[in-house]
Amino acid sequence: MSLSRSEVYIDGAWRRPLSAELIEVLNPATEQVLGTIPAATAADVEQAVSAATAAFAAWSTTTPAERVTHLRTLHRCLAARAEEIAQTITAEVGMPLKLSRRIQAGLPLAVLENYCALLAGYDFEERIGTSLVVKEAAGVAACITPWNYPLHQVIAKVAPALAAGCTVILKPSEVAPFSAFILAEAVHEAGLPPGVFNLVTGTIPGVGEPLVSHPGVELVSFTGSLAGGRRVTELAARTVKRVTLELGGKSAAIILDDADLATAIKGAVGACFINSGQTCTAHTRLLVPEQLYDRTAALAVEIAATYLPGDPTAEQTRLGPLVSAAQRERVLDYIRKGTAEGAELLLGGVEPPAGLERGYYVRPTVFGRVTPEMTIAREEIFGPVLALMSYRDEDEAVRIANGTIYGLAAGVWSGSDERATRVARRLRAGQVDINGAPFNLAAPFGGCKQSGYGRELGKYGLEEFLCLKSLQLRE
């Protein structure tokens, strides 16, 4: 199948970018070219910002009810293409299709639906003493997203931005861009006014940096790597833009001594290996009490070994390839470092999985006796690599869990939800799962420390795109 696109979406129309350059997108399971996308340039960014600026005055003054109507239509147009979205993202990212249907297609639709409901009941005004505080659209927003959950990360920005009354320029990852084109087509079909949503694709120097630096952009919502986030913040600072950063993580799952071990380890391994470990919130460090270490290690290896890498389009596959050759190299480097720094390789390793000569596959890998100073305990790997660490008491578990530069997510497992919640309160992380409780898309999502700042999802995600104005009234 060819998914190629040759145009970008600006001011309500598909346009050929001013440069004819194209970017190839690969299928990570086959290493074949899936299609190409336009490498737009600063001149296209200029047009997109002009269109978004021109559309802002009218869109930002629509009523919430009018925006709900638009967003509901958009939801309908997107939902009609859910299967195509799942297949497209499996082809470009490599997530097993069964999971893609539920997560890569299902989650963004649910988030969009949630914003329709939220917007319908959201109060854009608040009375504080003699002031009337009005919550207004913050301006033209640049939304910059990575490849690992491509449409979810896009919708987590675009839906609240549009709901708030902002106009948007989306720059998706060039590694997995095709679902963003499907979104732009859905926007067009839904009849959103021209300029309200614009899509430009291209490289970081070609499109990313011109967009973040553009004085007409008032707000940047960025999800990606720590290095990318730092650079974006520097560029945005020059024109004092508001910036929201959703960056990396090195999240810990803490198993307390009264936890049901089998359930906890199954949940923790799943939370590490989902999307082949290419998840910002992956629970990549498994912290266990020293007295349970041997049993935990044996169980973790047993469960991890069931994640057999394979063709992501096959129904039974649980572990697809990594997204690219570069990503695989990066992960294999970390596995080499783990061994070199003295961690025990309990499962997996750098050899390619048997029978998979093509595709960027990495074997599910478990390291034992990992200590906090090792590289694999400190840095984000973004692959199917679990680090087992032991602790002596609760205080040490909390210290280890909090002992990285990141603070995105964590998990706590205990026989008592109350005890797990008590430990969770001590963790520096944006979200902590208690005994494997599911993701709540109405609750705020984001990080602390170098995992970033600002929140996505639910009303807190909406408020990132609002600007407060106090109207001082006479008594």
Kindly state whether residue 224 participates in binding ligand NAD, applying the rule CB under 6 A: yes
How many helices (DSSP H) and strands (DSSP E) are in the chain?
16, 20
3-state secondary structure 135-161: EEECCEEEEECCCCCHHHHHHHHHHHH
Q: Which stretch binds ligand NAD (CB under 6 A): 3-11, 140-148, 189-197, 397-405?
A: 140-148
CB atoms within 10 A of CB 34: 20
Q: Which residues contact 375 (CB under 8 A, 6 or more apart)?
A: 334, 337, 338, 341
Residue closer to ligand NAD, measured from CB, 246 or 463: 246
Residue closer to ligand NAD, measured from CB, 82 or 204: 204
Choice from 225, 233, 402, 421 touching ligand NAD (CB under 6 A): 225
Residue with tokens 């998990």: 411
Nearest-approach distance from CB 472 to ligand NAD, in angstroms: 38
Among residues 218, 246, 456, 464, the one annotated as catalytic is: 246
Kindly state whether residue 231 participates in binding ligand NAD, applying the rule CB under 6 A: yes
Residue closer to ligand NAD, measured from CB, 209 or 396: 209
Q: Which stretch binds ligand NAD (CB under 6 A): 15-23, 96-104, 242-250, 298-306?
A: 242-250
For 448, list phi and psi in degrees, rounded to 5: -125, 180
Is 126 one of the catalytic residues?
no
Kindly state whether residue 223 participates in binding ligand NAD, applying the rule CB under 6 A: yes
Nearest-approach distance from CB 235 to ligand NAD, in angstroms: 6
Choice from 29, 111, 247, 429 touching ligand NAD (CB under 6 A): 247
Residue type, 378: R
DSSP conformation letters of 226-284: HHHHHHHHHHHHTTT-EEEEE----EEEEEPTTS-HHHHHHHHHHHHHGGGG--TT-EE
CA 259 to chain centre: 29
Residue closer to ligand NAD, measured from CB, 391 or 465: 465
Kindly state whether residue 147 participates in binding ligand NAD, applying the rule CB under 6 A: yes
Q: Which stretch binds ligand NAD (CB under 6 A): 82-90, 184-192, 217-225, 283-291?
A: 217-225
Residue closer to ligand NAD, measured from CB, 93 or 190: 93
Nearest-approach distance from CB 91 to ligand NAD, in angstroms: 17
DSSP for residue 355: T
Q: Which stretch binds ligand NAD (CB under 6 A): 34-42, 146-154, 236-244, 419-427?
A: 146-154
Closest CA to 256 of 72, 69, 422: 422
Both tokens assigned to 430: 């944006």
Residue 123 and residue 133: Cα distance in Å, rounded?
Answer: 11
Cα torsion angle, 154, 158, 161, 167, sign: positive
Choice from 28, 160, 208, 458 touching ligand NAD (CB under 6 A): 208
Q: What Å distances lie between residue 174 and 108, 181, 388, CA to CA?
A: 19, 12, 34
CB atoms within 10 A of CB 133: 14
Is 246 one of the catalytic residues?
yes
In the region spanning residues 347 to 386, those forming contacts with ligand NAD, defined by CB under 6 A, are 380, 382
Among residues 280, 456, 463, 467, the one annotated as catalytic is: 280
Residue type, 301: V
Choice from 184, 232, 292, 303 touching ligand NAD (CB under 6 A): 232
Choice from 35, 38, 94, 146 touching ligand NAD (CB under 6 A): 146
Site string for ligand NAD, 404-423 (x = CB under 6 A): ----x---------------
CB atoms within 10 A of CB 350: 16
Kindly state whether residue 228 participates in binding ligand NAD, applying the rule CB under 6 A: yes
User: Do residues 338 and 367 lie in contact, with contact meaning Cβ atoms separated by under 8 Å?
Assistant: yes
Site string for ligand NAD, 275-314 (x = CB under 6 A): -----x----------------------------------
3-state secondary structure 54-87: HHHHHHCCCCHHHHHHHHHHHHHHHHCCHHHHHH
Q: Which stretch binds ligand NAD (CB under 6 A): 67-75, 202-210, 258-266, 291-299?
A: 202-210
Both tokens assigned to 400: 């280890």
Q: Which stretch binds ligand NAD (CB under 6 A): 133-141, 142-150, 310-318, 346-354?
A: 142-150
Q: Give the number of residues in contact with ligand NAD, rule: CB under 6 A.
A: 27
Q: What Å distances lie between residue 449 and 330, 402, 421, 468, CA to CA?
A: 24, 10, 21, 26
Nearest-approach distance from CB 248 to ligand NAD, in angstroms: 4
Choice from 8, 91, 144, 377 touching ligand NAD (CB under 6 A): 144
User: Rounded to a whole number, what is the largest CA-CA distance in the chain?
Assistant: 78
Kindly state whether residue 212 participates in binding ligand NAD, applying the rule CB under 6 A: yes
Choice from 79, 134, 204, 305 touching ligand NAD (CB under 6 A): 204
List the catalytic residues. Answer: 246, 280
For binding to ligand NAD (CB under 6 A), which residues are involved? 144-148, 153, 171, 173, 204, 208-209, 212, 223-225, 228, 231-232, 246-249, 280, 380, 382, 408, 447
